[in-house]
Structure 1
Amino acid sequence: MRRRDFGSLVCGAAIVLPRSLRAQQPARPEIGFLSSRSATVDATLLTAFHKGLAGLGFVEGRDVTIAYRWAEGRYDQLPALAAELVARPVAVLVSTGGTVAARAAKAATQTIPIVFTTAGDPVAAGLVESLARPGGNLTGITASFIEAAAKRMELLHELLPKASTIGFLVNPANPAAISESDEIRVAAGTLGQRIEVVSAMNAREIEVAFDRLRALRADALLVAADPFFFARTDQLVAAAARQAIPTLYFRREFADAGGLISFGSNFPELFRVVGQYAGQILRGAHPSDLPVQRPSRFELVINLRTASALGLAIPPILPARADAVIE
């Protein structure tokens, strides 16, 4: 072989070899991310989710890809969106935004691992066999909003002990609304208060619901734990201020936005755990071996500026117990 030909062969090999190595590298695993909310609403939660993934060595775009599907409050779209992700197929399916999203994910696949977030008891919802031993292909974390419903009612009673009629805003498209309504009614009965349920499935119906509360002369309002309501944080806080109705919400972000008081789970922490679970499954763990987690604590946040605007005197014991007070 002539020197020139040998040199050409070596140079050619130098070009071909890296391409061959790249072709042999395994493709990055893909996570399906199904949410009943929107990318804008879930922005801070996505940051926490990515942090949980990164703790297991998975950085989006480097070690893993993520396919996002957003229902944007249209719960009837969730089954089709879940089916799209399963058909790709994804290595792990994450469902967020309540029991309605988790049920859509479960109905779409019995084999792909699913990590969910849900508001209530996932055993009662038929998602898992037990919290300690989920069984099947699902695990995740519950925000325990339904279980905390009675405590939210008690907090509102502490705030307004003379209130007799309490409005309860629900989204009838969410199956969890029934169980939460039942819990609220029982707690209200114990406290000698009457519950008036009003419903809303879209922005216009929210305004109608607040008009209804005014007609009912409701003394206060509880907002049900629903992903759609969180997506309408600013509208709900503004409507409550306009109607001058003291309102207790289920997430801190409402109080940060000007709502009177909130009591609920730390959502960024929940999503960090979801990211961790997704990472563990990508590393080989099976959902049935990962117990469903519950929040270690609930956050109480009080907005004293809003209380002042409403002319409310907050009992000193509540700010003393609060995790955060907005002044």
Structure 2
Amino acid sequence: MSAAPSGPPPAAFNAGLGETGYVEGQNVAIESRSAEGSYDRLPALAADLVGRKVDMVVTVGGIDSARAAKAATATIPIVFLVGTDPVEDGLVASLARPGENLTGISLLIGQLYAKRLELVSELVPQAGVIAMLVDPKTPATERNIKYVQEAASAKGLRLFILRASTATEIDAAFAVLAEQKAGALIVSATPFLDTRREQLLELTARHAVPAIYAFASLTVIYRELCIYAGKILEGAKPADLPVQQPTKFELIINLKTAKALGLTVPQSLLARADEVIE
């Protein structure tokens, strides 16, 4: 079940299940539901899945998907993918022992925003204004803005917030970005914006603005999520499976794009990069 207009790529989903011996159409059936970005539809979608007596609910697209599933059932196992702290948000009792019928993966998205601001300001040290593109419909948006605002203030930078929850609003946001003469852009990690990657890449190139994104790809994350789902299908209890968090963070620099923008990437950044695209 997803809050976003599109859910996990089927290949990534099936790869994770396949590693635990489950193959769609052979020994497992998958019912997909998407709120298409309308968060108020999530409770009904969760209730529908529970009414079909599914063996498990896998939620992606943020905290609201997980909350809707939790509200719908206290017995059916739920495996979630969230970017926030599931303990702080009331999903689980603790990361080590979630309790009840939920477990999953937390991506620590909020805690990393300050680091992204640091990286992009190091890439464009002359930028006095940094823009941040957010989806106002995403529940964690204001919290994430606060993380970046605090980091920007500490560096003496001005943070300008661009809000967009449709493709048309993204186009309009980039027009405002140009008017504000922002030196760089931080793209918020949200279900909707993650599905608009091609549009964002085209606009950042057209407006010649350096940008930093949260993910190069969600494929690996979805695979890990479905491996966890497979373990539960095999008999493991969610309450006994710790909530997973990232253990490795990678910095990927697109040197080809940087050159096209006329940017010289500092050696200090290149030395820390896990991958450089040339």
Band the TM-score falls in, shorter-chain normalisation: over 0.9
Comparing both structures, which one devotes a greater share of its residues to strand? 1
2:186 match: secondary structure: strand
Alpha-carbon distance, 1:320 to partner: 2.5
Q: Out of 225-234 and 51-60, give the one that drifted further.
A: 51-60
Alpha-carbon distance, 1:42 to partner: 2.9
For residues 246 and 76 of structure 1, the distance between their equivalents in structure 2, rounded to whole angstroms, comes to 34
Alpha-carbon distance, 1:53 to partner: 1.7
Check whether the contact 2:8–2:222 (CA below 8 A) recurs between aligned residues: no
2:80 to 97, 111, 116: 116
For residues 66 and 49 of structure 1, the distance between their equivalents in structure 2, rounded to whole angstroms, comes to 10
Alpha-carbon distance, 1:79 to partner: 2.1
- The residue that corresponds to 1:74 in the other structure is 38
- The residue that corresponds to 1:200 in the other structure is 164
Q: How does 1:66-145 map to 2 (within 5 A)?
A: 66-145=30-109
Residues 285-311 of structure 1: per-residue CA shift (max 9 Å, x gap): 211101000011122111112111211
Alpha-carbon distance, 1:163 to partner: 1.4
Aligned partner letter, 2:3:
S
1:297 to 248, 251, 264: 248
Instruction: Report the identity percentage.
Output: 50
Alpha-carbon distance, 1:272 to partner: 2.1
For residues 237 and 113 of structure 2, the distance between their equivalents in structure 1, rounded to whole angstroms, comes to 32
1:223 to 187, 192, 195: 187
1:151 match: secondary structure: helix
2:245 match: secondary structure: coil
2:2 to 35, 42, 58: 35
Residues 85-122 of structure 1: per-residue CA shift (max 9 Å, x gap): 11101111000111122122222222211000001211
Long gaps (5+) in structure 2: none
Residues 156-215 of structure 1: per-residue CA shift (max 9 Å, x gap): 121112211111111111011121111111111222211111100101111111111122
- The residue that corresponds to 1:14 in the other structure is none
For residues 142 and 100 of structure 2, the distance between their equivalents in structure 1, rounded to whole angstroms, comes to 26
Check whether the contact 1:135–1:287 (CA below 8 A) recurs between aligned residues: yes
Q: Does residue 1:321 correspond to 2:263, yes or no?
A: no
Residues 260-296 of structure 1: per-residue CA shift (max 9 Å, x gap): xxxxxxx333222221221221222211101000011
Check whether the contact 1:270–1:295 (CA below 8 A) recurs between aligned residues: no
TM-score, with structure 1 as normaliser: 0.81
Q: Does residue 1:63 correspond to 2:27, yes or no?
A: yes
- The residue that corresponds to 2:148 in the other structure is 184
For residues 187 and 175 of structure 2, the distance between their equivalents in structure 1, rounded to whole angstroms, comes to 15
For residues 319 and 302 of structure 1, the distance between their equivalents in structure 2, rounded to whole angstroms, comes to 8
Alpha-carbon distance, 1:137 to partner: 1.2
How many pairs does the alignment contain? 278
- The residue that corresponds to 2:215 in the other structure is 251
1:115 match: secondary structure: strand
Check whether the contact 2:5–2:192 (CA below 8 A) recurs between aligned residues: no
Check whether the contact 2:3–2:61 (CA below 8 A) recurs between aligned residues: yes
1:221 match: secondary structure: strand
Aligned partner letter, 1:273:
E
- Relative contact order higher in (CA < 8 Å, ≥ 6 apart): 2
For the aligned residue pairs, the C-alpha RMSD in angstroms reads 1.5
Alpha-carbon distance, 1:38 to partner: 4.5
Check whether the contact 1:166–1:221 (CA below 8 A) recurs between aligned residues: yes
Deviant stretches of 4+, over 3 Å: none
1:296 match: secondary structure: coil
Q: Which has the larger radius of gyration?
A: 1
Check whether the contact 1:53–1:276 (CA below 8 A) recurs between aligned residues: yes
- The residue that corresponds to 2:120 in the other structure is 156
2:30 match: secondary structure: strand
Residues 54-91 of structure 1: per-residue CA shift (max 9 Å, x gap): 22221111111111112333333222222211110111
Alpha-carbon distance, 1:142 to partner: 1.0
TM-score, with structure 2 as normaliser: 0.95
